[in-house]
Amino acid sequence: MGIRNITVSDISGNEIEDGAVVELIVRSHPKLDAPKRLDVAEDEIAGLKSAVNVVTVELKRGGITETVSLTLADFEKIVPKKALDNGAPTRGRRPGTRLNKAS
């Protein structure tokens, strides 16, 4: 006697062959309050395409971080390219930072 595990698509209810299961994680959705995981078949998500010209930013206020995605056009209305070109990197020290040497 043995045990057989099968995976069924959360979209169609059809059985998915071993090795053909795609785990789809919905991180953000206006009608969800938490991320959700779905087991799906590759052909069921063939129509998913990446959005183009999307900018994702983090806003940090008082210890709280919020992630916001917006179109490139909307972003460029607020943040000029010169500000981006002159922006500090997210890792390491800001350019021009000097360390005080202990005497």
Taking the domains of the chain in order of start, what are their residue ranges?
Answer: 7-46, 50-84
* pTM for this model (two decimals): 0.63
Query: For all residues of the chain together, what is the average pLDDT?
Result: 90
**Res. 96 pLDDT band, cuts 50 70 90:** confident
User: With contact defined as beta carbons under 8 Å apart, do 14 and 36 qualify?
Assistant: no
Q: Which of 50, 51, 55, 58 is closest to 75 using CA atoms?
A: 55
Nearest to residue 55, comparing CAs of 67, 40, 42, 38? 67
pLDDT by residue (tens digit) across 26-74? 988 889 999 999 999 999 999 999 889 999 999 999 999 999 999 999 9
Contact, 31 vs 11, CB < 8 A? no
Mean pLDDT of all residues in 80-100: 82
Q: Tell me what pLDDT residue 103 has.
A: 58
CA dist., res. 58 & res. 73, Å (int): 17
Phi and psi at 35, nearest 5°, equal: -60, 155
Confidence check: pLDDT of 101 > 80: no
Which whole-number Å values give the CA distances from 85 to 17, 52, 80, 88, in the listed order? 49, 21, 9, 9
For the chain, the straight-line distance linking the first and the last C-alpha, in angstroms and rounded, comes to 77
- Tokens representing 50 are 């990446």
